[in-house]
Structure 1
Amino acid sequence: MQLDFSRLSPAEAYRWLASTVTPRPIAWVSTRAANGTSNLAPFSFFQVISDEPPTLMVNVSTRDDGSFKDTLRNVRETGELIIQLVSASHAEAMNASAQVLPHGLSEFEHCGIASLPGERVQVPRVAGAAVAFECVVDEVQPYPRATPNCHLIFARVLLAHIDDGVLLEGARHVDPAQLDLVGRLGGSNYCTTRDRFSMVRP
């Protein structure tokens, strides 16, 4: 089978890419508008892209009606965000926060998700998240530039909150079994990182 992506509709291209490039880590992004309203939303087009400076990238798509999601609006207003990783214990709450709510309504409040204040940024973080990265925005790039349908947020990490319970002895490494992350597959499917194997790189 071959797919000519030049002949696929955007929906078809998304379906094939999202169901084959898997599993994808999930960025559970909290932001705060200039008026103080908080927002929380998951994104699976997400990855670490640099260690110097330490930078994460989140792709925020434009809505079908051409409007911008609150996450993008907020980071443009304040330049700050917190990116949480999603452990299996938070899967249901993460999924609930994906609901499209009216502009300005906080998912923290609507979904009953407890929060804690950020330390380096004025953004709330998810209470109990095993890993949370406090970030500032280095760049926001529309893509593709000529006719953008998404924006790439380049988030530089200032501070990481890592639950002591997911650390191995000596606190220099993370125990993946305790971290128990959720990955995004195609459609409504997810996976966890419980099934693993090791290989020694040559």
Structure 2
Amino acid sequence: MHVVPGLKVLYFGTPVVLISSLNEDGTANLAPMSSAWWLGQSCMLGLGSRSQTTVNLLREGECVLNLPSSAMVDAVDRIALTTGTAEVPDYKVAQGYRYEPDKFALGRLTRQASELVRAPRVAECPVQLECRVVSDRPFGGPGTRATAIEVEVLRAHVDEELVIPGTHHVDPLGWDPLIMKFCEFFGGGRNVHPSRLAGGWNMPHDLRSATV
């Protein structure tokens, strides 16, 4: 039997992406997000319209999409409730967000120079996609305050251990992406880490019986 619960969140599970971009002063910003999907050499990103990452992408026209494995969940969770915007909006303060100018340091992550864009890559991420912005438009209803941004992948960097020898294909058995389902972290089909984000968004989950 199906029910119609009037779901508050439609967030069934997508890969976590660490988006690196450049701030106006040339410093690097790093933001975790999980509203992204790919087709061919293009990717659609769903971002808050007022986020520092959105501002940076629309100004600079480029970014790097760094895909962490499930083993990197600690680093992602450390920067989950931070923002690169110095003046933190009240609604984000209420959710537990705080301003953090150096998310690479907070996440204990390493900057790695890109080849085709100015934004740095995250050295620890097994997959790194250098991208340019193609288009943007408002997304969602009037109260959503979201922007849909299309980017083109200019160059993909993949850990050689994930590439099937003699091919240009990633081994799906070797690649274990960090997945976010309803603000909770999953890898290999199981919950892998408590999520600060879920707490900040007051998600009513009880994962105490899950294997962590």
Q: TM-score range by the shorter chain?
A: 0.7 to 0.9
Name the structure 1 match of 2:29. Answer: 39
- 167-176 or 155-164, which moves further after superposition? 167-176
Indicate the SS of the match to 1:60.
Answer: strand
Using the TM superposition, give the Cα deviation of residue 134 of structure 1 relative to its aligned residue in structure 2, in angstroms.
0.2
| Greater fraction helix | 1
Kept in 1, the 8 Å contact 2:111–2:120? The answer is: yes
Distance (Å, rounded) in 1 between the aligned partners of 2:140 and 2:187 = 30
Closer, same or farther: CA 75–183 of 1 in aligned 2, 3 Å = same
Name the structure 2 match of 1:65. Answer: none
Structure 1 stretches of 4+ moved >3 Å: 144-148
- 117-126 or 84-93, which moves further after superposition? 84-93
Task: For 2:54, give the aligned amino acid.
Answer: L
Using the TM superposition, give the Cα deviation of residue 61 of structure 1 relative to its aligned residue in structure 2, in angstroms.
2.2
Using the TM superposition, give the Cα deviation of residue 111 of structure 1 relative to its aligned residue in structure 2, in angstroms.
2.5
User: For residues 100-159 of structure 1, what are the alpha-carbon distances to aligned partners after superposition, in whole Å with 9 as ceiling and x for unaligned?
Assistant: 245261211233211101110000110021111100000121123756510111111100
For 1:13, which of 4, 8, 30 is the aligned residue?
A: 8
Using the TM superposition, give the Cα deviation of residue 78 of structure 1 relative to its aligned residue in structure 2, in angstroms.
0.6
For 2:5, which of 3, 9, 14 is the aligned residue?
A: 3
Kept in 1, the 8 Å contact 2:47–2:147? The answer is: yes
Name the structure 2 match of 1:177. Answer: 173
User: For residues 50-76 of structure 1, what are the alpha-carbon distances to aligned partners after superposition, in whole Å with 9 as ceiling and x for unaligned?
Assistant: 32xx210111125xxxxx111111112
Distance (Å, rounded) in 1 between the aligned partners of 2:132 and 2:183 = 31
Closer, same or farther: CA 187–162 of 1 in aligned 2, 3 Å = closer
Distance (Å, rounded) in 1 between the aligned partners of 2:5 and 2:144 = 23
Name the structure 2 match of 1:82. Answer: 64
Kept in 1, the 8 Å contact 2:52–2:83? The answer is: no
Using the TM superposition, give the Cα deviation of residue 40 of structure 1 relative to its aligned residue in structure 2, in angstroms.
0.9
Distance (Å, rounded) in 2 between the aligned partners of 1:154 and 1:69 = 16
Using the TM superposition, give the Cα deviation of residue 85 of structure 1 relative to its aligned residue in structure 2, in angstroms.
1.2
Name the structure 2 match of 1:199. Answer: none
Kept in 1, the 8 Å contact 2:36–2:43? The answer is: yes
Distance (Å, rounded) in 1 between the aligned partners of 2:125 and 2:185 = 21
Distance (Å, rounded) in 1 between the aligned partners of 2:183 and 2:76 = 16
